[in-house]
Structure 1
Amino acid sequence: MSSWEAFFNEWMPLLEAEMRAAVGEPAHPSERLFYGMLAYHLGWADAQLRPAQQDGGKRVRPMLCLLACAACGGDPARALPAAAAIELLHNFSLIHDDIQDRSETRRGRPTVWALWGIAQAINAGDALFTIAHRALWRLRERGVPAERILEVAERFDAACLMLTRGQHFDLLFEGAERVSLEEYLEMIRGKTAALLRAAAGIGARLADGPAEDLEAFGEALGMAFQIQDDLLGIWGDPVVTGKSAADDLRTRKKTLPVIFAMERIPGFAERYRDPQTPLEILLQDLERSGARAETEAMAAVFTQQAMAALERAGLRNPYGEALRDLARALLSRTR
């Protein structure tokens, strides 16, 4: 077992308990569906709203927050409310993202909107957004000074704005004929990297550590994470990823391999825009273009940038090494 996996195993139950405390439970039978949808999405209930242990996601962002706090010499328990807030905010965005992408499955299960409709799913996402912000104030119970809580909240809200800005560009790209590499990188800097940047930076701040270096680490890690996600969205195993095969091609998303293929293969952009083009043809074009290897190389570049930021932070302890192990694992993940 790697060092980061050991850390995850130790702190995951405490994180889950903090998240459950932040979300709360129905006080009246009329609230059963309201809280049940949240519990379902977070992996705590099945589609009949019965308690269950389902796949609630990797919890990478909150664990990054806790691990960064530990690597900077702090007590991860002090950062638990912030870690929970980060994961709840992430899940708010996923509920809305599934609606916007018309994705009917996530983590191998029907999405919230697919089960309960778009209107209820929007409301469930809004609820998680609010609960995420309220979760931050639980830092007071951990003895965090008010001034530091406000500092954390400011970084948290800035990341949320960046996240929604990135999602705006991602949606905008769906109707664009072409997307440049620069536009794509700016989009994922917001949609994915902003929250990982905040997670690492907030963890460092709660330990009075080198927050700027940890933010740079989190951002570069987030860029590599999203690029790897782009690869899995086309070539990932649906049994492992929990998503349909070539899901990103079906919805014609402008992911990095697609952007590279548009630059390399004459006529690919036109075929990609045509909804009648079979997925097999698009996959053949992508393989022929070398886009897969080029995308893998770019993920490696951002991983190297993340490692360089950690070196600048000077975290010479087992938790710092665990952060390095985590970065390597995320680059080679299959889900």
Structure 2
Amino acid sequence: MTEDQPALREVERYMRAVIDRAESSGMLDDRAALPLYRVLAYHLGWMDEQFRPARVDGGKRIRPLLCLRCCEAAGGDPSAAAPVGAAIELLHNFTLVHDDIQDRSRTRRHRPTVWALWGEAQAINAGDAMFALSQLALLGVADRLPASSVALLLRAFNETTLRIVEGQVLDLGFEDRPSVSVDEYLTMIRGKTAALTAFAAWSGALVAGADPERLERFRLFGEALGLGFQIRDDYLGIWGRREETGKEPADDIRRRKKSLPIVLLLESMTPPDRELLDSLWSGPEVSDQAVEQVLELLERYGVRERVRAEVARLHQEAHSLLAEAAEPGPARDALAALLDRLATRSG
């Protein structure tokens, strides 16, 4: 058992309860005729492909953990934030189900994705259901907080969802563009990735009763953490190892993904090297030889070290913001340890 599992048990219990309640109040008594909720359980790691109980990788639950840790660091009871943590995790997984369709990703966490098993149409339904369930989970704080705080949470939660979708729209639009600036890329991940980590940190502090100034510090901490998390993910998408990431090495190069390493390369390279890159990516598939040549270009322009330096900068910024937001003590230490793990993770 890791040190994070006890903190997440209540979140997991609440997620299961929300889904079970929805299934039991659904249209049909015959669960085999309406496997929607078991498809969700499969995606979350609770069932296998035959809908048998299982306990497989359902993700690290980083975002709900961040919410609970920030609640505690702001002086609150982390168990009071469990419904918010459950809502955050369900919202995150709604985006993953839809992203897998849009990205044509057939595997996630070493297993077939929902659309790969049950088709695109049913995967869209599963994602839609996950979003509705996230709203229901969030309403679980209604008996724990003042009505004004609940309304504030709901508004911020839906605004966060819009920022995530806006980021995904930008990300998909980047695929058809010859180049993307670093500023444009950062705007995209500030929505697609960092908006939810910012909400997680902010909402945990809100449940704890933090004042507006302190809430903003927690929000900025969550945003810096999210930006660093995504850029570390970009690093692993090119230089990560298969046994740690579950993906082929340099998978983002094969997908022609405009992650930060490629954006930095495009801004730095000479016209002849740009022509070379365009020729390497011109075919229907990117060959192993082409991948090696792109890796050589990345090394020649020092992109790997620049990406590492940006992760380190955001890591330090998040540490500074955390020191401003939370009082010294075990709760802040736990958040600092989480931040350090995310900055150096290998998968």
Q: What band does the TM-score fall into relative to the shorter chain?
A: over 0.9
- Alignment-mate amino acid for residue 54 of structure 2: A
Who is 1:306 aligned against? 318
* CA-CA distance at 1:12 after TM superposition: 2.0
2:260 to 256, 263, 283: 256
Percent identical residues = 47
Who is 2:18 aligned against? 22
- Alignment-mate amino acid for residue 48 of structure 1: Q
Instruction: Tell me if the contact between 2:315 and 2:343 (Cα under 8 Å) persists in the aligned partners.
Output: yes
Paired positions, count: 330
- Alignment-mate amino acid for residue 53 of structure 2: P
Instruction: Tell me if the contact between 2:75 and 2:208 (Cα under 8 Å) persists in the aligned partners.
Output: yes
* CA-CA distance at 1:198 after TM superposition: 0.1
Who is 2:199 aligned against? 198
Unaligned runs of 5+ in 2: none
1:237 to 217, 237, 241: 241
Q: Does 1:274 align with 2:282?
A: yes
Who is 1:87 aligned against? 89
Instruction: Tell me if the contact between 2:73 and 2:326 (Cα under 8 Å) persists in the aligned partners.
Output: no
State the TM-score, normalized to the length of structure 2: 0.91
Who is 2:150 aligned against? 149
Q: Using the alignment, how far apart are the partners of 1:189 and 1:301 within structure 2?
A: 16
Which structure 1 residue ranges, 4+ long, deviate > 3 Å from structure 2?
Answer: none
* CA-CA distance at 1:311 after TM superposition: 1.8
> Quick check: 240-249 or 161-170, which moved more?
240-249
Who is 2:332 aligned against? 320
1:53 to 52, 55, 66: 55
- Alignment-mate amino acid for residue 46 of structure 1: D
The one-character-per-residue Cα deviations of 1:297-320 (angstroms, maximum 9, x if unpaired) are: 111111111111112214212111
Who is 1:217 aligned against? 221
* CA-CA distance at 1:154 after TM superposition: 1.2
1:295 to 307, 323, 342: 307
> Quick check: 144-153 or 191-200, which moved more?
144-153
Q: Using the alignment, how far apart are the partners of 1:195 and 1:295 within structure 2?
A: 22
Equivalent positions of 1:149-188 (< 5 A) are 149-188=150-189
Unaligned runs of 5+ in 1: none
Instruction: Tell me if the contact between 1:83 and 1:199 (Cα under 8 Å) persists in the aligned partners.
Output: yes
Q: Does 1:334 align with 2:323?
A: no
Q: Using the alignment, how far apart are the partners of 1:93 and 1:71 within structure 2?
A: 28
Q: Using the alignment, how far apart are the partners of 1:300 and 1:203 within structure 2?
A: 25
* CA-CA distance at 1:272 after TM superposition: 5.5
Q: Does 1:124 align with 2:136?
A: no
Q: Using the alignment, how far apart are the partners of 2:98 and 2:291 within structure 1?
A: 26
Q: Using the alignment, how far apart are the partners of 2:342 and 2:5 within structure 1?
A: 17
Cα pair distance change 1:52/1:279, threshold 3 Å: same
Cα pair distance change 1:282/1:63, threshold 3 Å: same
Q: Using the alignment, how far apart are the partners of 2:164 and 2:59 within structure 1?
A: 18
* CA-CA distance at 1:283 after TM superposition: 2.0
Is the partner of 2:263 in helix, strand or coil? helix
Instruction: Tell me if the contact between 1:101 and 1:251 (Cα under 8 Å) persists in the aligned partners.
Output: no
Q: Using the alignment, how far apart are the partners of 2:279 and 2:228 within structure 1?
A: 28
Instruction: Tell me if the contact between 2:47 and 2:54 (Cα under 8 Å) persists in the aligned partners.
Output: yes
The one-character-per-residue Cα deviations of 1:172-208 (angstroms, maximum 9, x if unpaired) are: 0000100000000000000000000000000000101
The one-character-per-residue Cα deviations of 1:107-156 (angstroms, maximum 9, x if unpaired) are: 11111111111111111111101110111111124x22221111111111
Is the partner of 1:24 in helix, strand or coil? helix
